[in-house]
Chains A and B, each alone.
Chain A
Amino acid sequence: MARGDWLADPSQGGARAASRRAIPHRSRSVLPVLLVALGVSLSFITLQFTTGIDRDARQAAFENVAREIVEFVNQRVAGYTEVLHGFRGLFETGVAVQRREFHDYFESDGVATRLLGLEAIEFARLVPLAEKEAFEAEVRNDSSLVPGGYPDFSVWPEGEREEYFVVDYIEPFEGDERSFGFDLGSNESKLLAVEQSRDSGDPSATAPFTFVEETGGEAAILFLLAVYQKGLPTDTVSQRRAALQGLVTLVLSVKDMMEGVVAPVLEAVDLEIYDGGPSEDGVLPPTRAGLMFDGDGVVRGLDDHLRDGLHLDDYVAVGGRNWVLHFSSLQPSGSPASVFPFVIFAFGIGSSVLVGGILFVIWRSGDAAKTQARVTRAILHAIGEGVVVANREGRLTYFNPAAERLFGAGPKDVAASEWSETYGFYLPDGVTPCPSERLPLARALRGEEVDNTEEFVRRTDSPEGVVTSVTSRPVLDEDGAVIGAVSVSRDVTEQKRVEQALRRSEELLEKRSQISDVFLTYRDDKAYREALRVVLEAVGSRHGILGYINGDGALVSASMTKEVWSQCQMPDKNLVFPPEAWGGLWGLALKEKKTLVSNGGLHVPEGHIPVSNAIATPIMYQQDVIGILMVGNKRTEYGETDRETVETLANHMSSILYSRLQRDREERRRRLAEEALAQHSKELARSNADLEQFAYIASHDLQEPLRMVASYLQLLERRYDGKLDSDADEFIDYAVNGAKRMQDMINGLLAYSRVSTKGKEFEPVDCEKVFKEAVENLEIVIEDEGATITHGPLPVVLADRVQLLQLFQNLIGNGVKFRTKEPPHVHVSAEPDGGSWRFSFRDNGIGIEPEYTERVFEMFRRLHSRTEYPGTGIGLAVCRKIVERHGGRIWVESEPGKGTTFHFTLPADGGDES
């Protein structure tokens, strides 16, 4: 149903108006709760777990309250209807109801105070044109209430009409006297209602009007019911028209009618009631003129801007018209209170009005003996309660028509001990036959007075049965001896159903909120166990499963408790079931994606806890099965209600479980990644440590044999130089050289491995001093090569002083070593570079081909023959390692033939020592 159409400006033309009329009529019984633009999509709920649950619960609570209020209005209208019928019964007893009786009864019974919203009760009498003057005269002279009568009385408004429907009796009169003499037929809307009730014999309601006297400007309606002449047939419309005596009319203030029910929830929910027009026209869109009730004075149903948040429209049929109930949630968070307790109050008023009225008439008639038989018959035929009479011997002697309907038969000649079996009486549980001696009528026969006992009546021809509320009394003779008994049974099935439905709705809401809480409270699998516990409580079951589908598509029975686990004796008991292992009721429910109920014949594997009955329902998120909810081992059979409960709770869990699984998956992914990373870096660290240990030990232990080789070769050279032939001298020379080179390399390797194993803690180091020291250490080479070493301002940095010296020495030494014919010049400088210092060692040497700029830092990498430039090829590898240990970076820029610049960075704050 497009909300936009309701809100359309009627002046905007035909298309919209036409679409309004196309809105189909919805009778009360088939009216579903229409959700209008709730704007809460499932995906949105899952976006924010907490918010989602909150919203979900809010909406559920909101809908619940709306449902309760609708139910309340329905019941209240039913109450008014009963009152109308009661008054009709009063008129139809055949005893003339005079002004005096009408007044006294109204006064004595206090109907007005017992019916919320009732402003006045009137009787509008049908007066044909021909009898108008006589009628006016009669009223003017009627001094039964006021001495001197009503000399000014006349029917108004004036004018000749074929029939008048004149407001004759009014209670309370004061304050409403303006209506006195008013012809309902003079007003089109009221005439419509009059005719409707007259023709149908059912109550009808008028459109709302403002009736200043009664309501102080609030909207009122008339709720009326035709009263026919006693003894005339009323089977057809024309018969009813001919038999019409007048109309019993209730003047109702809609505001007062709603007072008391809406008050407790007004903070949270706004209710607006609009007249939706005659039912035969379908439901008309709300209009300002049709507004009968507004909870907070802000009209929301007509204004699109005020329609944000939660909304809901529902309809109630009132005397042939539709009322539109528009609900808006006013509360940004939290749940509105329940109106449940107020609803039950609405029951049972009309009937007491009726019986009270009849007894009143008997009492007033003054000649009880004469009219008693007639009146009694009238009573017994008019009332909806089933009246049964038993004689002293316990024989049933009388059933009124209502009792015959209720019990499916009239009096049967059975002993009191067989009543229960004969008429199908059961205890309120509906299954246990009620022992006949406990029936209220039987108890009354024993002299007891029994009030409002519940009893269940079920027969083969009405297998669903009805719940009755029974009151019974013994009938006593002058001496107080029991000579019989009477019972009055009232059908309260509908009342019970409503009560139960509302209670169940309350309970479900509570369970849902508990489940939400559980998932918010427990981040681990305890949430599943606790949520399952809530469900088991809700359906009175001993065992259950609440599981989810994991990333591999397997069912994880997350709710498993230690207790159940230990009871399970299956040899291959498991908590995770891949799809091929899905079995039993739950497996089938998962596969078929539907709820399955079994009340027996369940086969479980050997060792499994016995399952006598069960309900299994898949938890669906959109189209996917994301879990299972199963309950089992209820004492009694699972019924439709249990199935609904389980399904409702499973639905409720859908978005919660989905969010939970998403969260778990995210966490698991993150944890795995973190673990992998930690493992990786651990392995890396160990492998690095191993390598360094290896390098250190290898170089150390290699030293020993090498020293032998070198030493003895040198000893040979020393002792026998020139004593052997020249070949021998040359050979020894090569061997000695080789051994020395190997020693150099091993020393280099040792130095390399020592960068990390023998590193010192970082301390502030003045690079100017380091520079000076390096130059001093290289003094001989510098002098030999005729080199110039210069420097710009150098900072103080946090570093390992010894390593920094080695770094400077290696780089300066490099610059001097790889020289051209020009005298070598090395310039050292440093400048800030972000959070670091960038050092540059610029020389005017031979330079490096671009393809080698990376490889020069590799271990033992040499770009030149040893004869050109001697060296082990380890110096720059050590440099890189030192820089990296200091958290910096080293690279080289060069133009072959022109020179080379080595750059490295050192963090200004010292970096992380690794």
Chain B
Amino acid sequence: MSRSGGRPVEILLVEDNPGDVRLTVEAFKEGVVLNHMSVVNDGVEAMAFLRREGEYADAPCPDLVLLDLNLPRKDGREVLAEIKDDEDLRRIPVVVLTTSEAERDILEAYDRHANCYITKPVDLSQFLKVVQSIEDFWLVVVKLPPGDADG
């Protein structure tokens, strides 16, 4: 099932912890939607990727961004703010996926127009469930704005 003509769904995972990267990748592998996941390890790279700068000149435009908050160099909050300030990027749904349960982080994320905020469950099966539901919701249920990405 593909929303854009059989093209796999492009997902950008912004996450510095390789363990989490692998877990997320594994979780999406078990998913039902054909997807292609790109991974960057910090905020600076994330912005370069989204703006196709430098080594990311040929990067695909993601259909969904999974964003951790605590990142080296430029942290997730700044990345979120920049995406939502950028006319070309603001329509890309950003799912904040983080370990923080802090109320302040949650409010701040929504204030910066995060599309949703999810706390990483500690338990593996829970985590898998969560990733599953992200996939279900954002890649199946939700009607997203037409991507102008040409791939």
Chain A positions within 8 Å of B, measured between CB atoms, are: 700, 703-704, 706-708, 710-712, 714-715, 718, 740, 743
Query: In the assembly, what is the distance between CA of A79 and CA of B125, in Å?
Result: 126
CB proximity of B22 to chain A, nearest CB, Å: 8
Q: Is B26 an interface residue (CB 8 A)?
A: yes
Q: Cβ of B125: which chain A residues have Cβ within 8 Å of it?
A: 714, 718
How far, in angstroms, from A703 to B20 measured CA to CA in the complex? 13
B120 surroundings in chain A (CB, below 8 A): 707
List 4 A-B pairs, minimum CB-CB distance, nearest first: A714-B124, A708-B19, A711-B124, A707-B122
Instruction: Please name 13 pairs of A and B residues whose Cβ atoms are closer than 8 Å in the assembled complex, sorted by A.
Output: A700-B99, A703-B99, A707-B99, A707-B122, A708-B17, A711-B19, A711-B122, A711-B124, A712-B23, A714-B123, A715-B26, A718-B124, A718-B125
Chain B residues within 8 Å of chain A by Cβ, number: 12
Residue pair B99, A711 in contact (C-beta under 8 Å): no
Decide: B124 and A715 in contact? CB cutoff 8 A. yes
Interface string of B111-151 (1 = CB under 8 A from A): 00000000010111101000000000000000000000000
Among B17, B26, B99, B122, the residue within 8 A (CB) of A710 is B122
What residues of chain A lie closer than 8 Å to B19, measured between beta carbons?
Answer: 708, 711-712
A706 CA / B99 CA spacing, docked (Å): 12
Q: Establish whether residues A711 and B17, one from each chain, have CB atoms under 8 Å apart when the complex forms.
A: no
Residue on B with the closest CB to A746? B122
Measured in the bound complex, the distance between the Cα atoms of B18 and A704 in whole Å is: 12
Please indicate the chain B residues that have their CB under 8 angstroms from the CB of A718 in the complex.
124-125
Q: Bits for B12-48, please: 1 = Cβ < 8 Å to A, else 0.
A: 0000010110010010000000000000000000000
Bound state CA distance, A740 and B125, in angstroms?
A: 13
Give bound CA distance, A743 to B123, whole Å. Answer: 10
Residues of B within 8 A of A704 (CB): 17, 99
- The residues of B that contact A715 with a CB separation of less than 8 Å are 23, 26, 124
User: CA A718 – CA B125 in complex, angstroms?
Assistant: 9
State the majority secondary structure of interface residues on B.
helix
Give A708 to B127 CA distance when docked, in angstroms: 12
Known A708-B19, A711-B127; judge A703-B122 contact (CB<8 A): yes
Query: How would residues 87 to 123 of chain B score, 1 for a CB under 8 Å from any chain A CB and 0 otherwise?
Result: 0000000000001000000000000000000001011
**Residue numbers in A under 8 Å from B127 (CB-CB):** 711
CA A700 to CA B127, docked complex, whole Å: 18
CB closest residue in chain A, given B100: A700
> A707-B99, A715-B26 given. 13 additional CB < 8 A pairs?
A704-B99, A706-B122, A707-B122, A708-B17, A708-B19, A708-B20, A710-B122, A710-B123, A711-B19, A712-B19, A714-B123, A715-B23, A718-B124
Q: Which residues of chain B are within 8 angstroms of A706 by Cβ–Cβ distance?
A: 122
How near does chain A come to B85, taking the closest CB pair, in angstroms? 30
Which B residue's beta carbon lies closest to that of A739? Answer: B122
Name the residue in B17, B124, B125, B127 with the highest tally of chain A Cβ atoms < 10 Å from its Cβ.
B124
- The minimal Cβ–Cβ distance linking B142 to chain A, given in whole angstroms, is 27
The smallest C-beta distance from A748 to any residue of chain B, in angstroms, reads 13
Closest CB in chain A relative to B70 CB, distance in Å = 9
CA distance A706 to B120 in the complex (A): 13
Query: B124 contacts which chain A residues (CB < 8 A)?
Result: 710-711, 714-715, 718
User: Shortest Cβ distance from A834 into chain B, in angstroms?
Assistant: 37
Max count, chain B CB within 10 A of own CB: residue among A700, A710, A714, A743: A714
Whole-angstrom distance between the Cβ of A624 and the nearest chain B Cβ: 66
Q: A740 vs B122: C-alpha distance in the bound complex, in angstroms?
A: 9
Q: What's the nearest-Cβ distance from chain A to residue B27, in Å?
A: 10
A-side contacts of B23, CB under 8 Å: 711-712, 715
Q: B71 CB to closest chain A CB, in angstroms?
A: 14
CA separation between A712 and B26, bound complex, in Å? 11
Q: How far is the CB of A743 from chain B (nearest CB, A)?
A: 6
Nearest B-chain residue to A716, judged by Cβ: B124
In the bound assembly, the distance between CA atoms of A851 and B124 in angstroms comes to 41
A772 to B13: give the CA distance in the assembly, Å: 43
CA distance A710 to B120 in the complex (A): 13
In angstroms, how far is the closest chain A Cβ from the Cβ of B129?
Answer: 12
State A715–B99 Cα separation when bound (angstroms): 19
Q: Mark B38-77, 1 if CB is under 8 A from A, else 0.
A: 0000000000000000000000000000000000000000
CA A700 – CA B120 in complex, angstroms? 13
